[in-house]
Amino acid sequence: MKFLPVLLFCLLSALCSFLPAAEWRPVAFPEQIQFPLPKDIPANHPLKLIELLPFEADSQYLTKPAAWEGIADAFPRSLPRFVKKRDRLYSRWILIDQATGKSLTSFTYAQPDSEIAAHRTAINWPASPKGVQCVVDVDDVLKLGVKYVAQNVDIRPLFDLNKKSNLTWAVDGEKFHFNSGAIQGLDHYVSRMTDAGVNVTFILLNYVPTRPDPSNPLIHPQTNLTDAPNHLGAFNLTDEAGYRHYRAVVEFLADRYTAGKPEQGTISGIIIGNELQAHWWWYNLGQMPADEVISEYARALRVAQLAVSKAHPELRTYVSLDQHWTHYMIEDKTKFIPGKQFLEGLNQQIKTEGNFPWHVAQHPYPQNLFNPRTWSDDQATYDLDTKKITFRNLEVLTTFLHQPEFLYQGKPRRIILSEQGFHCEEGEAGERVQAAAYAYAFYRTRQFEEIDAFILHRHVDHAHEGGLRLGLRAFAPGTFTSPGEKRMIYDVFQQADSDDWEQHFEFAKPIIGIQSWSELDPKPVEMSSPN
């Protein structure tokens, strides 16, 4: 919509206010797209069905040739899903009244039927949520009894844009080449984890250069290449080349890592981008209003979900959020969106074009990253308008997602805590507080059925992480992140899901200020801020 003049935007809004996606929703099957006919339309009434691709502006429906036109009595209940190798699973549809030129439906994506999925490989969901990310030594992590890992995947190095590799994937008949060395590295990591019973989630990222690169179709045209703080950009779905490359990488990864091949392993889901509220830092679209950021991201999330649905009916897509809930990290609203506002806008945008099963990858860091005493977070209150969501008030997130408007097919979205850690202050006392913070967080996590994983950041400290020391281990002297000495948290982490966990957590009670762990059980959540 952002490309339309204001007058045309208003016109389209008026025309497209008839039947929402919830009431008129095509369904995609292996060979056909089935269409319902809206009720109460006279048999001889002239209709037109228009098809748009994800990168095409809404306004193009005014001039694009019809996918079908005729009288209502002859309305096709299905169309071929594939046209000259192009998969219509990704198309948006709108039904037009030819007599008036008005829309009878909203723009709507088809609902993928589970039968379109190529694989049914069993996905392992361990009962214990214990996880870690930024794994430096796989053997060390497996000795810790880890059950979940999250792995960053930068999409650019996965492609062989010179098209010399024999490892390919086809999108709508176009062949895309993948870097066999990069994929073999993922194969090795995922297969080792899968073989050990560890659940693996990918975090899909798009690192960008500091200067324009016309040969790179992955760069979103709104990304500020010069000033993007972490050189992470949005996924580019603004044109056909960017859309097809993005689709190719998600389809390829989803298919490869659910095929059930032991030498490749299995993943459980893909996190689309990182900490979307702080988009200027982690999903750069330049300085952009919140509604436009949400619209851009909704499209990337939608295409990813459709891509994974082709591979496996249970493979998940996740939205990544940090701990800021109603609080602005900075005053510039073109660079940051509070999490509550982001999820409300995203949910509305997605439901308008047809709901689908997105999930949440939350990062409930302490409100002060350098203070691990998250039990004292005074900005983490027990109401839906809390400033932040930390381990102190996880019940706010679960309560929020239990609201009827956020349910999908009657069930709340699943949650993984995919990145969060606790800074270790200097000395033995600092190690004890860090370990106590982990014990506190692990106990709190296990009180919520909706949360599948608590993936600690990180395995080993990194020398260039702004002075934070979040690891189970320090880094070895003279290195950036090679494993060094163990901290107290290492042993607490190892025993966190053992039968005698209370014995190993006992030291933490006086640090936290409790007599019994039951004092940390979930509290009632106010549905609005107290006066």
pLDDT at 14 over 60: no
Residue 47 · residue 135 · CB < 8 Å: no
pLDDT category at 23 given cuts 50, 70, 90 is: confident
Q: What burial letters (b/e) apply to 146-180, b meaning 16+ CB within 10 Å? A: bbbbbbebebbebbbeeeebebebebbeeebbbbe
Q: Supply φ then ψ for residue 401, to 5 degrees.
A: -75, -10
Q: What is the pLDDT of residues 281-297, one digit of tens each?
A: 999 999 999 999 999 99
Q: In this predicted structure, what is the pLDDT of residue 251? A: 99
pLDDT at 9 over 60: no
Return the bridge partners of 415, or none. 360, 451
Q: In this predicted structure, what is the pLDDT of residue 21? A: 57
* Amino acid identity at 406: F
pLDDT at 178 over 60: yes
pLDDT at 246 over 70: yes
Handedness of CA 476, 479, 480, 483 (dihedral sign): negative
Q: In this predicted structure, what is the pLDDT of residue 289? A: 98
* DSSP secondary structure letter of residue 89: G
Q: In this predicted structure, what is the pLDDT of residue 39? A: 78
Q: In this predicted structure, what is the pLDDT of residue 40? A: 81
pTM over 0.75: yes
**Distance separating alpha carbons of residues 168 and 176, to the nearest angstrom:** 5
% of the chain surpassing 70 pLDDT: 95
Q: What is the pLDDT of residues 75-126, one digit of tens each?
A: 999 999 999 999 999 999 999 999 999 999 999 999 999 999 999 999 999 9
Q: In this predicted structure, what is the pLDDT of residue 316? A: 98
Q: In this predicted structure, what is the pLDDT of residue 6? A: 36
DSSP sequence for 232-266 = BB-B--SSHHHHHHHHHHHHHHHHHTTS--TTT--
% of the chain surpassing 90 pLDDT: 93
Q: What is the pLDDT of residues 377-401, one digit of tens each?
A: 999 999 999 999 999 999 999 999 9
pLDDT at 13 over 70: no
**Distance separating alpha carbons of residues 317 and 333, to the nearest angstrom:** 26
**Distance separating alpha carbons of residues 284 and 201, to the nearest angstrom:** 22
pLDDT category at 16 given cuts 50, 70, 90 is: very low
Distance of alpha carbon 316 from its chain centroid, rounded? 8
Q: In this predicted structure, what is the pLDDT of residue 522? A: 98
pLDDT at 266 over 90: yes
Mean pLDDT over each residue of the chain, to the nearest integer? 94
- Pairing label, strands 199-205, 269-272: parallel
Q: In this predicted structure, what is the pLDDT of residue 205? A: 98
Q: Average pLDDT, stretch 58-87? A: 95
Q: In this predicted structure, what is the pLDDT of residue 463? A: 96
Q: What is the pLDDT of residues 426-458, one digit of tens each?
A: 999 999 999 999 999 999 999 999 999 999 999
Q: Average pLDDT, stretch 193-219? A: 97
Q: Which long-range contacts (CB under 8 A, 24 or more apart) does 483-492 make?
A: 483/136, 483/137, 483/140, 483/459, 484/460, 487/424, 487/431, 487/434, 487/435, 488/431, 488/432, 488/434, 488/435, 489/422, 489/424, 489/431, 489/434, 489/435, 489/438, 490/144, 492/435, 492/438, 492/439
Q: Average pLDDT, stretch 224-246? A: 98
Q: In this predicted structure, what is the pLDDT of residue 19? A: 57
